[in-house]
C-alpha cells in the first residue's frame, strides 16, 4: 500500500533494493551502528525514521558508494526517481597522515586491514562526528534535512557497511591500498645512520657442495645396457665406463 505524505503518495514498484529485515534495526555491526548514530546526532530523527520505512519498502532502486558520497536513486511520489545522496567530508592530508601513524603504531592493525577487517580503534578518526562533516541532498522538492529519500539512502548505506566495513574508508576518501602502502613505506623508511645500500652487511658463507660424479647416481646395469645397444662388445663398454668416470673427475 502506498503511503501519502506532504508531497503525495510514493509509487510502489518492484526491483528496489531489499533490506535484510522488515523489523528491528538497520545496521548491525559496530561500524554501521556508529555511522547511523553519528547521523542521528546531527539530523532530524523523525525524518530518519521515515527514511527507514522507505528503505524497508524497497523504494531505493540503486546505491553507489564513492569517495565522499553515497548516491542512490529513490522512487518517491513522482514518476521519475529522485537522486538522493549522503555526503561525508573526505579526510584531508593531515587526517590521512594521522590515520597512517595510528595504524603504524598499533601491532597487528596493518594485518587486520590487509585481511579486510576495519579495526574499531580507528572509529574516532574515520566516523563523522560534526554537522560540517555530514550532509544530505536530494532532487525532490522537500527542503527538510534530510528528506526521506536521502534518509533511505543512509539506511541502505548502513547495510552496505554491514557487508563491507571498509566502505567507510571509501566514504572518507581513503584508498585501502594507499593506506597500507603508506604504512609499510613509513615503517620501512631507512634512517640517516643506516647502511642504505648494504655495503657493510655481512653475508653468510656459501654452502660447499660435495663433489659427486654423475655416474654414481646412474643405475650401472641401465648404463651398460645403453652402451651395448649399438652392438658394442663388453670390453668397449667397460672402457667407456672408465672414461666417463675419469671425465667427471677432471670436471671437478
Where do runs of H (alpha helix) occur along the chain? Answer: 30-42, 45-56, 93-104, 109-114, 123-126, 148-163, 167-171, 176-188, 220-228, 234-250
Residue 192, pLDDT score: 46
Residue 187, pLDDT score: 47
Q: For residues 180 and 107, give the distance between their C-alpha atoms in angstroms, rounded to a whole number.
A: 13
Residue 14, pLDDT score: 62
Whether 4 contacts 96, CB under 8 Å: no
CB atoms within 10 A of CB 218: 14
* Cross-strand partners of 66: 69
Q: For residues 44 and 144, give the distance between their C-alpha atoms in angstroms, rounded to a whole number.
A: 9
Taking each helix axis from N to C end, the angle separating 30-42 and 148-163, rounded to the nearest 10 degrees, works out to 160
Q: Taking the mean position of all CA atoms in its chain, how far away is CA 44?
A: 33
Residue 28, pLDDT score: 84
Residue 32, pLDDT score: 94
Residue 2, pLDDT score: 41
Q: For residues 26 and 18, give the distance between their C-alpha atoms in angstroms, rounded to a whole number.
A: 12
Residue 23, pLDDT score: 61
Q: For residues 35 and 66, give the distance between their C-alpha atoms in angstroms, rounded to a whole number.
A: 16
Give Cβ neighbours of residue 38 (< 8 Å, ≥ 6 apart).
127, 128, 129, 134
Residue 149, pLDDT score: 95
Q: Which residue has the cell 548516491?
A: 71
Ramachandran sector of residue 195 (left: φ over 0; alpha: ψ -120 to 50; beta: rest): beta
Positive or negative, the CA dihedral 161, 163, 166, 167 is: negative
Instruction: Going residue by residue through the chain, which has 252 residues, state the pLDDT in tens, using 9 for 90 and above.
Output: 344 445 555 666 666 888 876 666 677 899 999 999 999 888 888 889 899 999 999 999 999 999 999 999 999 888 899 999 999 999 999 999 999 999 988 878 888 998 889 999 999 999 998 778 999 999 999 988 899 999 999 999 999 999 999 999 999 999 888 788 766 555 444 444 465 566 777 767 776 666 666 666 666 677 777 777 776 677 777 777 777 777 777 766
Q: Taking the mean position of all CA atoms in its chain, how far away is CA 248?
A: 57
Find the distance separating the first CA and the last CA of the chain, reported in whole Å. 92
Q: For residues 9 and 214, give the distance between their C-alpha atoms in angstroms, rounded to a whole number.
A: 90
Amino acid at each position: 500500500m502506498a503511503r501519502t505524505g506532504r508531497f503525495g503518495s510514493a509509487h510502489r514498484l518492484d526491483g528496489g533494493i531489499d533490506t535484510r529485515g522488515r523489523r528491528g534495526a538497520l545496521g548491525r555491526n559496530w561500524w554501521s551502528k556508529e555511522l547511523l548514530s553519528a547521523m542521528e546526532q546531527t539530523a532530524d530523527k523523525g525524518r530518519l525514521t521515515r527514511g527507514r520505512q522507505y528503505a524497508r519498502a524497497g523504494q531505493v532502486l540503486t546505491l553507489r558508494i564513492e569517495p565522499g558520497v553515497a548516491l542512490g536513486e529513490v522512487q518517491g511520489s513522482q514518476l521519475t526517481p529522485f537522486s538522493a545522496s549522503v555526503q561525508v567530508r573526505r579526510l584531508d592530508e593531515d587526517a590521512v597522515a594521522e590515520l597512517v601513524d595510528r595504524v603504524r603504531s598499533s601491532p597487528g592493525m596493518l594485518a587486520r586491514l590487509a585481511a579486510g577487517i576495519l579495526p574499531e580503534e580507528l572509529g574516532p578518526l574515520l566516523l563523522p562526528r560534526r554537522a560540517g562533516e555530514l550532509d544530505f541532498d536530494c532532487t525532490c522538492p522537500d527542503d527538510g534535512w534530510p528528506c526521506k529519500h536521502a534518509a533511505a539512502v543512509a539506511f541502505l548505506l548502513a547495510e552496505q557497511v554491514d557487508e563491507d566495513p571498509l566502505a567507510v574508508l571509501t566514504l572518507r576518501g581513503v584508498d585501502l591500498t594507499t593506506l597500507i602502502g603508506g604504512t609499510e613505506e613509513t615503517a620501512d623508511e631507512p634512517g640517516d645512520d643506516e647502511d642504505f645500500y648494504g655495503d657493510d652487511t655481512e653475508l653468510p658463507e656459501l654452502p660447499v657442495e660435495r663433489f659427486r660424479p654423475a655416474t654414481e647416481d646412474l643405475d650401472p646395469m641401465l648404463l651398460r645396457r645403453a652402451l651395448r645397444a649399438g652392438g658394442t662388445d663388453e670390453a668397449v663398454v667397460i672402457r667407456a665406463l672408465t672414461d666417463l668416470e675419469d671425465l667427471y673427475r677432471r670436471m671437478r
